[in-house]
Amino acid sequence: MVFYGLYYWAELDNLTDLRPRGGCDDPTYPYYFKLRCGNCGEVSAKATCVSLGEVVELGRSTVNLVQKCKLCGREASIVMIPGQGTPLTIEQSQHGDRILLMVFDCRGCEPIDFAFGDGWRAESLDGTTFDIDCSEGEFADYDEKGEYPVGLGKLRPEFRVVKKQERHGKTKYV
Ligand SMILES: [Zn+2]
């Protein structure tokens, strides 16, 4: 098994705490990405969709996805690991920090080409909540309370191999 961390960054304009609508562990937020087969290297033609709230039985364990490679027939599976993601703040956006959103425990496959979907949320600097569809890659609106424009753009996702670390009784992936 290999752990892949999904990191993200966006340019935030008078917005902060960008995250899926129900928080980073939103059970309904759909993660779209492609799979590269760990056996033959074939990349799936269509994007796969997984969410924390959707599980399937695989033997005696529960996973979020089971998918067979169309070329070699090898079965791959993914288990999502919640509790690791944090919202992207405006300070982190300005520093260019990539923030961990979700960890995927992948067996027999590698996730690539993450695509942002609908179902995001962020607050303006005056606390106004905006629901955001990130599938367009950009967003622009106006905060009536603070009387300034808000927006986001330049969304950047990145899958990175991470290692599991136990520290002070807490599990982290870095
Ligand atoms: Zn294959």
**Å from CA of 73 to ligand 1 middle:** 6
Encoded tokens for 108: 């027999």
Distance, CA 117 to ligand 1 centroid (Å)? 27
pLDDT at 108: 97
Distance CA(161)–CA(78), nearest Å, equals: 14
Residue 120 near residue 131 (C-beta atoms within 8 A): yes
Task: Say what the pLDDT of residue 119 is.
Answer: 96
pLDDT in tens, 75-105: 999 999 999 999 999 999 999 999 999 999 9
**Gap from CA of 135 to ligand 1 centroid (Å):** 29
Average pLDDT taken over every residue of the chain: 97
Residue 54, pLDDT score: 97
- Tell me the whole-structure pTM to 2 decimals: 0.95
Distance 72 CA to ligand 1 centre (A): 4
75 CA → ligand 1 middle, Å? 8
Asked whether 76 and 109 are in contact (CB, 8 A), the reply is yes
Q: Ligand 1 centroid to 164 CA: how many Å?
A: 26
> Residue 63's pLDDT band (boundaries 50, 70, 90)?
very high
The span from the CA of 9 to the CA of 20, in Å, is 13
How far apart are the C-alpha atoms of 174 and 167, rounded to whole Å?
A: 12
pLDDT tens across 34-57, in order?
999 999 999 999 999 999 999 999
The pLDDT-based confidence of 1 (bands split at 50, 70, 90) is confident
Rounded to the nearest angstrom, the gap between the alpha carbon of residue 95 and the centroid of all alpha carbons in its chain is 20
Instruction: Mark 94-123 as b/e (b = at least 16 C-beta within 10 Å).
Output: eeeebbbbbbbbbebbbbeebbbbebbbbb
Q: 109: CA distance to ligand 1 center in Å?
A: 9
